Structure 1
Amino acid sequence: MDAERDEAVREFESHRQRLFSLAYRMLGSAAEAEDAVQDAYLRWHGAEPGQVVAPGPWLNKVLTNLCLNRLTSARARREEYPGTWLPEPVASGALGPMERAEQREAVSFAVLTLMERLSPPERAAVVLRDAFGYSHREVAGVLDCTEAAARQLHHRGRKRLADGAPRPGTVDAEQNAALLGRFLQAASDGALEQLEQLLAAQVVVWSDGGGKVRAALRPVHGRVNAARFLAGLFERFTDDVRFELAEANGAPALLGWEGEELTSVGLVDVGPDGVTDIRILRNPDKLAHYAHRHRALSQNG
């Protein structure tokens, strides 16, 4: 019996990263994704012998339905969220391979934020189809609907994403990282003119404090307003905060540390005329998972 249990654990662990990747894309929250994966494990552990013929598809279906249930309640909570709601950042390696630009874009803050426009079934259809290569028939099997209905869910979801598609940006991570370095220097120096030169005319800054730390409750629009807001933000925190260039969600990121505590994660989108979107995470509840993974990766070299 112990040998069977150990084998069951090993089998589940071989799927864990993929399951987390699926749950994170569905929920936009690393903490909720880990909870959903743990719930899937409990279902797996409680399955009758012989009930699971194909572990991978079985776990995907169980997890997807767990996420659908969570999304229903999460949508209500996010409607009452104080200020801007942003997805939770994840560290490199948490979502598996990120070699292609398409893989990085699929978990970008811009796309994950747009996913909030989709109904839970639409979101599931898009994630399963686009990120995991499911056919419409396989999506229908997961969602317990007809193939035609699955196709329609995917079509509607893709259309809603396209209607709010991020402004065209670069996909060169090295260029983005270099620009982020110049951005950090200009903001830290309070060099408004230099900072403005790095920003697109219609740049937007979002900040998410979750009502727990100071953050702008509304987006800041426009080059001049954004530059002043960012310079003021850095002026308040530079003396106490150590900044570090890192990676989150497959893109260059700016981390802010106060001692050993991670207090902010900032990500930027870059277009032909400069930085188009800046998203700053300050809600401590959304930084814990990233901080833990980042420290672990740093310690392992």
Structure 2
Amino acid sequence: MSTDEHAERFTLLRPLLFTIVYEILGSVTESDDVLQNSYLRWAEVDLARVRDTKSYLARLVTRQALNALRASARRREEYVGSWLPEPLLLEENDASADVLLAESVSMAMLVLLETLTPDERAVFVLREVFGFEYHDIAAAVGKSVATVRQVAHRAREHVRARRRRFEPVDAATTARIIEQFMTAAATGDLAGLLALLAPDVAWTADSGGKTTAARRPVVGAEKVAAVLVNLFRLGRPGDLRIERVNCNNTPAMVLRGERLEGVFLIEIAGGRITNFYAIRNPDKLLAVAAPRQISR
């Protein structure tokens, strides 16, 4: 088999493989590294022995992703402040036609998946999101089928007990709320901001200690509004430029001054903003340069 055929098969499945790895790791840059290392291994495989390319490659990248996740465990334990996944820049409405895919890459779901063990996370992603058979998952995580079934049940119950109901907001409502928010932020309209925030709105910031940010979640409309006033320097128009983007299939803003200040994902429910995820660690903003393709 030629190198071209290896590349062709891998490239065809790359959006799927990337999505699997990203949902296991929560990191775009680490996912790219895993795919690169996986391809080098794939290039050495005798394709005549591969009966199902999709399953084979899914097993391969999952094993590499689990190795990367376990290797990064200590770094995450020592992380300064809240740890959030890297924002995943998508084309507008990339996943909107697939509600399950949209939820699986949402920041809320990825944060929830952080509470699982590495094996639970991989098994949950492969089974619940991508629908792989138990024998394929067992091969990927190096456990028996019976054990994988138990792990899948445990992970499913854990997620079910903690997940919020996922309700995609219609495009018109989203556009209206985001436009009103950006206007209020740009003009210093504190009352306008408060009108858009749910009473129990939460602000979670990830700076890694490398830039100024709250190290614990801030909860409550008035407290979050104060954070926004400080961040966006509402009395000084022109200092910052706000761009609307789609990250993790969620409305998001990129804030730029002399440099990229951060990516801010916004969750909306009941006509109000319920959560902000503020990624300000410069290391986690490197992958926001170009949109990615996802698939399942």
Q: What pairs with 1:141-180 in structure 2 (closer than 5 Å)?
A: 141-166=139-164, 169-180=167-178
User: Which has the higher mean CA deviation after the structures are superposed, 155-164 or 42-51?
Assistant: 42-51
Query: Could you say which residue in structure 1 is the equivalent of 2:9?
Result: 11
* Structure 1 spans left out of the alignment, 5+ residues: 295-301
**3-state SS, counterpart of residue 69 of structure 2:** helix
TM-fit CA distance, 1:200: 1.0
TM-fit CA distance, 1:273: 5.9
TM-fit CA distance, 1:130: 1.7
Structure 1's 181 and 95: CA in aligned 2 closer, same or farther, altered over 3 A? closer
Q: What pairs with 1:73-88 in structure 2 (closer than 5 Å)?
A: 73-88=71-86
Q: Say whether 1:28 aligns with 2:26.
A: yes
Residue number among 93, 112, 115 corresponding to 1:114 in the alignment: 112
Whether the aligned pair in 1 keeps the contact of 2:169 and 2:269 (CA below 8 Å) is no
Q: What pairs with 1:1-301 in structure 2 (closer than 5 Å)?
A: 4-48=2-46, 50-93=48-91, 97-166=95-164, 169-235=167-233, 238-258=237-257, 261-272=259-270, 274-293=272-291
Q: 2:118 is matched by which residue type in structure 1? A: P
TM-fit CA distance, 1:170: 4.6
TM-fit CA distance, 1:250: 1.2
TM-score when normalising by structure 1? 0.89
TM-fit CA distance, 1:52: 3.0
* Structure 2 spans left out of the alignment, 5+ residues: none
Q: 2:89 is matched by which residue type in structure 1? A: A
Whether the aligned pair in 2 keeps the contact of 1:204 and 1:219 (CA below 8 Å) is yes
User: Within 2, Cα distance between the matches of 1:55 and 1:94?
Assistant: 30
Whether the aligned pair in 1 keeps the contact of 2:95 and 2:249 (CA below 8 Å) is no
**3-state SS, counterpart of residue 72 of structure 2:** helix
Whether the aligned pair in 2 keeps the contact of 1:21 and 1:95 (CA below 8 Å) is no
Structure 1's 192 and 72: CA in aligned 2 closer, same or farther, altered over 3 A? same
TM-fit CA distance, 1:159: 1.9
Structure 1's 137 and 14: CA in aligned 2 closer, same or farther, altered over 3 A? same
User: Within 2, Cα distance between the matches of 1:224 and 1:93?
Assistant: 33
User: Which has the higher mean CA deviation after the structures are superposed, 163-172 or 92-101?
Assistant: 92-101
User: Within 2, Cα distance between the matches of 1:170 and 1:4?
Assistant: 44
TM-fit CA distance, 1:128: 0.6
Structure 1's 125 and 150: CA in aligned 2 closer, same or farther, altered over 3 A? same
- Count the aligned residue pairs: 291
User: Within 2, Cα distance between the matches of 1:22 and 1:285?
Assistant: 22
TM-fit CA distance, 1:275: 1.2
Aligned CA-pair RMSD: 2.3
User: Within 1, Cα distance between the matches of 2:43 and 2:262?
Assistant: 37
TM-fit CA distance, 1:63: 0.7
Query: Could you say which residue in structure 2 is the equivalent of 1:299?
Result: none
Whether the aligned pair in 2 keeps the contact of 1:18 and 1:96 (CA below 8 Å) is no
TM-fit CA distance, 1:96: 6.7
User: Within 2, Cα distance between the matches of 1:67 and 1:173?
Assistant: 34
Structure 1's 176 and 273: CA in aligned 2 closer, same or farther, altered over 3 A? closer
Whether the aligned pair in 1 keeps the contact of 2:92 and 2:245 (CA below 8 Å) is no
Q: Name which structure has the greater RCO, CA cutoff 8 Å, separation 6+.
A: 2
